[in-house]
Amino acid sequence: MIRPGQAIGILGGGQLGRMLAHAAQDLGYRVHVYEPSAQSPAAAVADRETQAPYEDLAALEAFARSVDVVTYEFENIPAEALEAIEAIAELHPAAGVLRICQNRWREKAWLRANGVPHAAYAEALEGDIEAAASQVGLPCVVKTADFGYDGKGQMRIATADDLVRAAAIFRGRRCVVEQWIDFEREISVICARTRSGETRPFPAAENLHANHVLDISIVPARVAPSVEAEARRLAVRIADGLEVVGLLAVEMFLTRGGDLIVNELAPRPHNSGHWSMDGGETSQFEQHVRAICGLPLGPSGARNPTVMVNVLGDAWKWGDGVVVGEPDWAAVLAEPRAKLHIYGKPEPRPGRKMGHFTVQAADLEEALFVAMALKATL
């Protein structure tokens, strides 16, 4: 057991690292953040920061020796950096888990090998989109194998003209071409798992996206109880199969035929779990700390129906490409059912996640109505 008073290292200094640091400090841990860029949200609240590139093996080794356990808040970390860490300190989830989840080729291959329902796909070697699309059929989606998030590095292909454009855009890049899923809803389940194999899935969240970025998460998801139960079973099964220690977010499509299709995996706290900070019996961040430190897991239920709304840089007032004013925070702060969380990023940009707010109510429709009204004011 890593006990309160000991040190947790976090690779990555974004908002997930910031909220993870807060949760760790609430439990009495010290936090050391490793982040290449300056003015990161997590470093602003950490007990200690190392600002160095992931290629600096000496800095990584010194960082690993300064802490008792290491985790990460995003996937795009070079394998060499993880290997250097894992040779010195406990790393959770393990480097092997991240290696699978940070690359869509390996992730899809793992899902297929383990009999997990997923979209039909084909690998596009050196960006040979036409050959891969001919195996999958149209419509389909092309995604880069590496460094994809929030819809980056992907394109929907519906026509022959789309195929020509995609072939030019993705030429020379490793890609996966996936069958287009005609889904009814997008949902996700975050599952916590300890070294002893104890698992605790959170309720399924229903996720609404805008421009490929998560816009709203709704808990409980508006799906049948049988779908909710199956989604939680799938998340536990995958977490067990990967032997995750920490959190695993499993994104899924619910098809119009009532089937669940696993889309992507993320072995870390996830944007769709932010509702748990205010609406959960235990937040996803506290649960992650408990899991990686060998503490008993907390209860994972929802206190109340909760809606989470992302606040992007678009909410700032813009004029001629520059910021001329902030959002009307007072409107959110004046609502007793709402809680506002701002990430402390140095500057807003359109499409950049700057914060979020949650709304809790006794009735889900009431929570959703209030959340949408507040969103409109921003």
The series of mean pLDDT values per 10 residues for the chain, 378 residues long, is 97 98 98 97 98 97 98 93 95 97 95 97 85 94 80 86 92 92 97 97 97 96 98 98 98 97 97 98 98 98 98 95 93 97 95 97 98 96
Residue 150 and residue 281 share a domain: no
Rounded Cα distance between 256 and 185, Å, is: 8
Exposed, middle or buried, 1 (CB in 10 Å: 0-12/13-18/19+)? Answer: exposed
Diameter of the chain measured on Cα atoms? 60
- Tokens matching residue 280: 């959960």
Query: CATH number, domain at 17?
Result: 3.40.50.20
Using CA atoms, how far apart are residues 375 and 114, in angstroms rounded to an integer? 41
Residue 112 counted as domain residue: no
Condensed to tens digits (0 to 9), the pLDDT of residues 333-349 reads 999 999 999 999 999 99
Domain C-terminal end among 179, 194, 224: 179
Full domain range(s) for residue 130: 120-179
Are residues 190 and 237 both part of a single domain? yes
Alpha carbon separation from 340 to 5, 6, 101, 192, 329 (Å, rounded): 29, 30, 31, 25, 8
Q: Which is it for strands 140-144 and 175-179: parallel, antiparallel or unpaired? A: antiparallel
pLDDT tens digit sequence for 115-150: 999 999 999 977 689 999 999 999 999 999 886 666
The answer to whether position 114 is within a domain reads no
Residues 239, 128, single domain; the answer is no
At which of 74, 91, 108 does a domain end? 91
Whether 96 maps to a domain, the answer reads no
How far apart are alpha carbons 17 and 43 in whole angstroms? 8
The predicted pLDDT at position 127 comes to 66
